[in-house]
Amino acid sequence: MHTEILTTGDEVCSGAIVDSNAAHIATRIEEIGIKIERQTCVRDDIKALSGAIKNMAQRADIVIVTGGLGPTVDDVTSQSAAKAAGVELAQDSEALNTMHAFFKKLNRPIKGMNKKQALLPQGSKCLENTIGTAPGFCMAISGCTFFFLPGVPIEMRLMLADKVLPRIAALRGESDDHYMVKTISVFGLTESAVNEHLVDFNEKYPAITLGFRAKFPEIHIKFYLQGNHVKRMENLIESAGKWVYQRIGDNVFSFEEHSMEDEVGRLLRRQKATLATAESCTGGLIAHRLTDVPGSSAYFLCSAVTYANEAKINVLGVSPDTLNRVGAVHEETVKEMAIGVRRISGATYGIAVSGIAGPDGGSDEKPVGTICIGLAAPDYVEGYRFHFPFGDRRMRKLIFATKALDILRRKLISYKFEVESIKLSHKE
């Protein structure tokens, strides 16, 4: 099934916005085992758009179109589809009813401008939009099935999942066929190292297609599979997941598409523990990521972003002697920072980072990319040093933050639940 994506809109075509809709559609379509052969973006212009639709109809079996279904004059996708199919636009009663229901829910009158959105090409089938004003539609042109969806990402995504993917499955006459994707998130190994560890995967699990995606600083391993027995497929995924874990161990941080900060939060909740952070070079990024997780106030108490040495001394109680003797970027300093933030916050765990994000500030002994991480727990304090000699300032802040969270995560997963009932004492 030759499948293509067509994005419409001057803003995408002109580079004003980066087209993440096409990437989302491609990902979801490839997840059900269909390759996207081509992506096209055309301006909001009836001649260009209808021409592109006609060409695609000759080449493709399925085309997913997004954008240009809004109420204003520059929304010309419906007209272009009608022109390409050689039909007229007509008021679609299903589309109009859906819009009436939507506006009633908002308690707003339906405007003339919006009524234009219920004009669909003759012979098309309305695809209901339950969260926006623009209905979608599908229609066959020269034997190719076109799905027209709005460009608003949240509406497009919902309609793709609810209206388009089931119809594509039906088109393929494979209503009893199932597609599954499993993502395993990894931090601490390069893509080629992961690859090497899993080199005999295909021999062991021939029914699963293996994929790798780098999402700096993480690697995502993907399983793609297709079959008739959901339970058998789920069992196969579980077995293959365990096999991967045996090979690369705790470098796997999630089998559930959790972010590193989600995962740290989940483990802290499990342990009924709390966290405070002391950040220098990451400049608040660790706290920002932790607090992006809804409900993080249950375990995240505070972060002291002590950029200046005076703040390290005054806020965290780091010893001026230590700073003089070993400097701000050192295992001893970050241990004192971690102890300090744990003390002022009363948190179960304190993590601290101090490093050189660059571009300036490096030396032979401590080059740009050097990061020291301290971890203070009720019964131990540890200091680490690493060097990440790549990327720019932002990439270094990102990998420093991920590394600090990962050190805590590895501690939390090895936490013994037998002792969970013992009250943690705050000794330092």
Interface mask toward its own copies for 176-215; x: CB under 8 A: -------------------------------------x--
CA 5, 11, 12, 18 dihedral sign is negative
* Integer Cα distance of 4 and 424 in angstroms: 58
DSSP-derived secondary structure for 2-52: -EEEEEE-HHHHTTSS--HHHHHHHHHHHHTT--EEEEEEE-S-HHHHHHH
The residue (of 37 and 177) whose beta carbon lies closer to its own copies is 37
Which of 240, 245, 248 is CA-nearest to residue 188?
A: 248
**Interaction residues for its own copies, span 264-303 (CB under 8 A):** 276-277, 279, 281-288, 290-292, 294-297, 300-303
In whole angstroms, what separates CA 275 from the centre of its chain? 24
Closest CB 37 distance from its own copies, rounded Å: 6
Q: Which of 359, 367, 387, 413 binds its own copies (CB under 8 A)?
A: 359
3-state secondary structure of 212: strand
Here the tokens at position 202 are 């295909």
3-state secondary structure of 352: strand
Q: For its own copies, which stretch binds (CB under 8 A), given 30-38, 82-90, 226-234, 246-254? A: 30-38
Q: Would you count residue 133 as binding its own copies (CB under 8 A)? A: no
Q: Would you count residue 65 as binding its own copies (CB under 8 A)? A: no
Question: How many residues form the binding site for its own copies (CB under 8 A)?
Answer: 72
Q: Which of 32, 52, 138, 165 binds its own copies (CB under 8 A)?
A: 52
Closest CB 143 distance from its own copies, rounded Å: 19
* Integer Cα distance of 354 and 292 in angstroms: 22
Q: Would you count residue 35 as binding its own copies (CB under 8 A)? A: yes
Q: Which of 157, 266, 393, 410 binds its own copies (CB under 8 A)?
A: 393
* Integer Cα distance of 29 and 223 in angstroms: 15
The residue (of 64 and 99) whose beta carbon lies closer to its own copies is 64
Q: What are φ and ψ of residue 172, in 5° steps?
A: -80, 0
3-state secondary structure of 363: coil
Identify whether the C-beta of residue 74 lies closer than 8 Å to the C-beta of residue 10: yes
**Interaction residues for its own copies, span 314-343 (CB under 8 A):** 314-315
Q: For its own copies, which stretch binds (CB under 8 A), given 10-18, 63-71, 96-104, 132-140? A: 10-18
Q: For its own copies, which stretch binds (CB under 8 A), given 33-41, 113-121, 160-168, 179-187? A: 33-41
Q: For its own copies, which stretch binds (CB under 8 A), given 73-81, 251-259, 354-362, 417-425? A: 354-362
* Integer Cα distance of 238 and 234 in angstroms: 6
Closest CB 215 distance from its own copies, rounded Å: 9
Contacts of 369 (CB under 8 A, 6+ apart): 355, 356, 358, 362, 387, 388, 389, 390, 396
The residue (of 51 and 241) whose beta carbon lies closer to its own copies is 51
The residue (of 12 and 237) whose beta carbon lies closer to its own copies is 12
Q: For its own copies, which stretch binds (CB under 8 A), given 98-106, 119-127, 160-168, 392-400? A: 392-400
Closest CB 192 distance from its own copies, rounded Å: 13
Q: Is the peptide bond before 359 cis (omega within 30 degrees of 0)?
A: yes
The residue (of 60 and 180) whose beta carbon lies closer to its own copies is 60
Q: Would you count residue 353 as binding its own copies (CB under 8 A)? A: no
Closest CB 12 distance from its own copies, rounded Å: 8
